[in-house]
Amino acid sequence: MSGRRVLVTGASRGIGRAVAAAFAEQGDRVAIHHRDSARQAESLIDGLPGHGHAVVRADLADPEDVRSMVDTAARELGGGIDVLVNNAGVFLHGPIAESSYEEWQDTWRRTLDTNLVGAANVTWCALRHMTAGGRIVNVSSRGAFRGEPDSPAYGASKAALNALGQSLAIALAPRGIAVASVAPGFVETDMTNEHLKAPRGDAIRAQSPFGRVARPEEIAAAVVYLASPAAEWASGTVLDLNGASYLR
């Protein structure tokens, strides 16, 4: 099924960029959301196959920004949204033993406002433009299950995102809308670039028996499948994509 209208948050780089490209390659129209990466978003849209794509901007921590962005995306895509990919997120360093109380609160607020509440608000707004056959795919993380000791707010936000997705999978099934999640481990992106440099990078790659980390295109392929008409029965799924680096 091609020609769907797809909104991908955090699509200017990394996993989101690969996801947007994968949908466009199969003939879908894509709205590329960014917060402050207009140049990267425009460079992506210039290289996408097909037509009818759009760039939209919002700070996901701002509820009114979110509402305006989603409404604009729906309008630019031709009057609706068939697929929502909640990919945008922040990863903030904030270990409990090394943070002041003020830093601790700020890290949690900023992380949850974007990774959880922002995604929830985008979903609420997108649902107003979605009909039966719609798909919602959330990009979670391996950290939701194994823990993130140096970034506990991130791990908690992704665990909560999984719970949100599963709750909505039940709530939206009567409307013919399926909801699923992917939970990647380390992926080669701008966000992880510093972590993957030697010598720490060697240890990270060794976490997987394949001796490497994921490519963004591998995550994108799973997202495209979960958003497909064939994947309705996967609603409620949280799909691990970590190269057997963490098994549960």
The whole-number pLDDT of residue 1 equals 42
Flag whether 248 is in a domain: no
Task: Burial-class residue 96 by CB neighbours within 10 Å (0-12, 13-18, 19+).
Answer: exposed
- Per DSSP, the three-state class of 217 is helix
Residue 164 CB neighbours (<10 A): 21
Residue 123 lies in a domain: yes
Say which residue the tokens 């780089």 belong to: 13
> Coil, helix or strand for 4?
coil
Instruction: Answer yes or no: is 246 within a domain.
Output: no
* 210 belongs to a structural domain: yes
- Is 170 buried (19+), middle (13-18) or exposed (0-12) by CB count in 10 A? exposed
Please identify every residue annotated as catalytic. Answer: 154
Q: How far apart are CA 248 and CA 235, in angstroms?
A: 19
Q: How many domains does the chain have?
A: 1
User: Residue 82 and residue 69: Cα distance in Å, rounded?
Assistant: 16
User: Could you tell me the CATH number of the domain that includes residue 178?
Assistant: 3.40.50.720
**Alpha-carbon radius of gyration of the chain:** 17
- Global confidence as pTM: 0.96
pLDDT value of residue 2: 57
How far apart (Å, rounded) are the C-alpha atoms in residues 133 and 203?
Answer: 42
Is 220 within the bounds of a domain?
Answer: yes
**pLDDT reported for residue 195:** 73
pLDDT along the chain (248 residues), means of 10: 88 97 98 96 96 98 98 97 98 97 98 98 98 98 97 98 98 98 93 76 94 97 98 98 97
- Any residues with CB less than 8 A from the CB of 106 and at least 6 apart, and which? none
Q: Does the residue 247 lie in any domain?
A: no
Q: Is residue 138 part of a domain?
A: yes
Spell out the SS3 assignment of 142-185.
CHHHHCCCCCHHHHHHHHHHHHHHHHHHHHHHHHCCEEEEEEEC
Determine which helix (DSSP H) or strand (DSSP E) holds 38, and give its type and residue range.
helix 38-47
The identity of residue 46, as a single letter, is D
SS3 content of the chain, % helix, strand, coil (to 5): 45, 15, 40
Instruction: Check residue 144 and give its pLDDT.
Output: 98
Question: For residue 150, is it within any domain?
Answer: yes
Identity of residue 142: R
Structural domain that includes position 231: 5-241
